[in-house]
Structure 1
Amino acid sequence: MMEDIRELLGGFSIGDFFPSMEFIHSLTGMKSRLEHTFRRFDDLFNVILREHQEENKATELHKYLVDVLLDIQKNGCGEMPLTRDNVKAIILDMFAAGTDTTFITLDWGMTELVINQKAMERAQAEVRSVLGERKSVQETDLPHLPYLKAVIKEIFRLHPPAPVLGPRESMEDVTIDGYSIPAKTRFFVNAWSIGRDPESWVDPQSFRPERFLNENSNIDFKGQDFELIPFGAGRRSCPAIAFGTASVELALAQLLHSFDWELHHGTQPKDLDMTEVFGITMHRIANLTVVAKPHFS
């Protein structure tokens, strides 16, 4: 289902640009495919909501996100009332934006690290020196992992989960570098290309986390440094930067701490297919197959 929605959202829709030609979607099968995907997601969300409403196992001290949303829908929340469709939309955001992008970042990150063993070894040594014999990574450990944070910045630079950010629209007439852009113009920001621009980055095609400890140590992805904008910038930037970053940092640190990783026997780094899948988010076209050896006996 996630593969379908990625392809549909990332594909070309002639009706977006020429509304009078939207009927073509009925002829090509696009409309029926959209409706089918919508119904599948809607059925899934109905099941999720029904389970939470029937079981009602959550306590006041421990509630799941869906429980909180249902409480707001039922009891109201001042100026922010929620309908059932609103609740479904937030759940879809968590599936599409909150989990898919995290997986993409971890997938590309582990791929780059198994290819670049020196970076893998340095990241593992840092995590293990901070945690010692403790088996679980905690949020309080993250500020003490500067190299891991540099690795994640480099992953975001080379492989932004959403390579072309959500569409923008100019609010007023503006001229940029001699180009006149009228108000109400739709445009797209290519974060993938920006992250590989040789005018901004030294050796931009190489995976070098050290760049964020040296010449680019002050660059971050919070939307203030336009060389690195995987989450966008300005008022249309991703509202879950903190959530997404913590999710990736915790998961990657745990993977590096708990296991030693290597490519499957007989596979060389040059054998890995680094082709990117077409869609609104940027998966690898091939699955990553690696050998995980437990670090703790």
Structure 2
Amino acid sequence: MLLRLGELRVVVASSADAAREIMRTHDLAFATRPISPTGRALLGDGSYGLVFAPYGEGWRQLRRICTTELLSARRVRSFRAVREEEVRRLLRSVAAAAADAPGQPVNLSDMVSAYVADASVRAVIGSRFRDRETFLRLLERRLNNVPAQSLPDLFPSSRLAMILSPTPRLMKRERRDMMAFIDTIIREHQDSRGGGDAAAAGNADEENDDLLAVLLRIQKEDALDPPLTTDNIKAVIIDIFGGSSETSATTLQWIMAELMRNPRVMRKAQEEVRRVLGGPQETAITEDSLGGLQYLPLVIKEALRLHPPAPLLIPRECRSPCRVLGFDVPAGAMVLVNAWAIGRDPAHWDAPEEFAPERFQGSGAADFKGTDFEFIPFGAGRRMCPGVAFGLANMDLALACLLYHFDWELPDGMEPGELDMTERFGITARRLSDLLLVPTARVPVP
């Protein structure tokens, strides 16, 4: 469909066939991102990072660096010890809360968000934030503001709209606060490495190095065209922090919520986890032990089908006129791919509203690698999310451990069907309400 929002022309693709045309057949024509007046105020001019950067050599350079130095399968494996340590911290937090107040609910949303933020940040900068709560607060404000369509966005040719609207000024303040926070992180990182001297830079290719060290080294070498600026580095760090922590935490919360609403699936998942991972109680679960799990990956896929982290994906822009399914798409149109609707399309899914992980069993089942367009929670084509492996790694171990060590109940005698599953408006589909669950320790946490 074509929507006219003020001066904006917005094309919405809500079928697998339309998504295939946009993200494969005409991928190059839709490979860039629209930047609205509000977006420019929030993201700055010319330093858009990785997610919102326009298509071109600068974006290709950043994507190549991030994919090689943080998001490749090899690099994701190298951060395994970090994830295992942070999962143990999460489990100890849940166990302590269960011991201090037996039978009382814990805020699993807050605990999961803290875990994912710490695991992601340590992979990117090598250590935890000294002020994680400030980062999470800034991130939430940013995510709430990104999808807003203000008056200047709807009427970009109007100078009066820009003058009358307070939104661009608010966005500039959001950008200033976040960039100042990241600037502090960079200074602390350089101080911890002896001021970024040559000896520290020489370690950039070591297996345990972090992304920020690599970016700073590449900037110092000054071999890229266009050059890598400090604002580029800050924007990339914000994108990686926000993308990895928000999507993984949101998906983990939806998975646990769906398991609570579907006791049959919960029992089956816990039975497998405890059978496959069962061993001496003093032994901590590691990522190496997850290879024998077959049902739990299906649970994650089914949650991603029903609750894609970015339900409309990240907007694209048509670079040149083309035809999609016989319809003319004009140059400059914003294009939204409705992954939420596609994942619930009865043309491709039996009983699409049911949470049934078994639908992903078998070698012919759909996967989210960008080739099955009826299942695209991470997009497809050139602008597909490059951090799929990184995000899944943050989810797999945490979910397995939460199900292995604890039994879970809804608070106050709530029935499964009474659990609120309302989504919150935003660029990501968070739960409207925090997930409050009652944990009971089943297997002691080492």
TM over 0.5: yes
Alpha-carbon separation, structure 2, partners of 1:97 and 1:153: 18
Correspondence 1:163-242 to 2 at 5 A: 163-213=311-361, 217-242=364-389
Residue 294 (1) aligns with residue 441 (2): yes
Moved more, 243-252 or 62-71: 62-71
Q: Which amino acid is the alignment partner of residue 190 of structure 2? A: Q
Tell which has more relative contact order, 1 or 2 (C-alpha 8 A, sep 6+): 2
Moved more, 104-113 or 69-78: 69-78
Work out whether residues 223 and 234 of structure 1, in 8 Å CA contact, stay in contact via their aligned partners in 2.
yes
Alpha-carbon separation, structure 2, partners of 1:171 and 1:79: 23
Q: How many residues are matched?
A: 296
Work out whether residues 174 and 180 of structure 1, in 8 Å CA contact, stay in contact via their aligned partners in 2.
yes
The aligned residue for residue 212 of structure 2 is: 66
Alpha-carbon separation, structure 2, partners of 1:71 and 1:82: 10
Say which of 28, 33, 40 aligns to 2:177: 40
Alpha-carbon separation, structure 2, partners of 1:10 and 1:137: 39
Work out whether residues 151 and 165 of structure 2, in 8 Å CA contact, stay in contact via their aligned partners in 1.
no
Alpha-carbon separation, structure 2, partners of 1:119 and 1:136: 25
Query: How many percent identity over aligned positions?
Result: 45
Alpha-carbon separation, structure 2, partners of 1:137 and 1:66: 29
The aligned residue for residue 294 of structure 2 is: 146
Work out whether residues 211 and 217 of structure 1, in 8 Å CA contact, stay in contact via their aligned partners in 2.
no
Q: CA deviation at 1:79?
A: 6.3
Q: Which amino acid is the alignment partner of residue 113 of structure 1? A: L
Structure 1: which 5+ runs fail to align? none
Change (3 A) 1:293 1:22: farther
SS at match of 2:328: strand
Cα deviation, 1:126-175, whole Å, max 9, x if unaligned, reads 22222222644433334422211111111110000100111122344333
SS at match of 1:188: strand
Change (3 A) 1:2 1:178: same
Change (3 A) 1:102 1:179: same
The aligned residue for residue 309 of structure 2 is: 161
The aligned residue for residue 279 of structure 1 is: 426
TM-score computed with the length of structure 1 as normaliser: 0.90
Change (3 A) 1:146 1:21: farther
Q: CA deviation at 1:275?
A: 1.1
Q: CA deviation at 1:14?
A: 4.3
Q: Which amino acid is the alignment partner of residue 119 of structure 1? A: V
SS at match of 1:151: helix
Q: CA deviation at 1:82?
A: 2.8
Residue 252 (1) aligns with residue 252 (2): no
Q: CA RMSD in A?
A: 2.3
Cα deviation, 1:235-282, whole Å, max 9, x if unaligned, reads 111111121122222221222122221112322223322111111011
Work out whether residues 26 and 32 of structure 1, in 8 Å CA contact, stay in contact via their aligned partners in 2.
no
Alpha-carbon separation, structure 1, partners of 2:284 and 2:185: 30
Say which of 259, 263, 275 aligns to 1:113: 259
Alpha-carbon separation, structure 1, partners of 2:431 and 2:421: 6
Residue 31 (1) aligns with residue 31 (2): no
Q: Which amino acid is the alignment partner of residue 36 of structure 1? A: R
Q: Which amino acid is the alignment partner of residue 55 of structure 1? A: S
TM-score computed with the length of structure 2 as normaliser: 0.62
Moved more, 201-210 or 131-140: 131-140
Cα deviation, 1:63-87, whole Å, max 9, x if unaligned, reads 3332333233334466685321122
Q: Which amino acid is the alignment partner of residue 139 of structure 1? A: E
Moved more, 26-35 or 144-153: 26-35
Say which of 258, 268, 276 aligns to 2:415: 268
Q: CA deviation at 1:103?
A: 0.4
Q: Which amino acid is the alignment partner of residue 175 of structure 2? A: F
Q: Which amino acid is the alignment partner of residue 239 of structure 1? A: P
Alpha-carbon separation, structure 1, partners of 2:319 and 2:397: 38
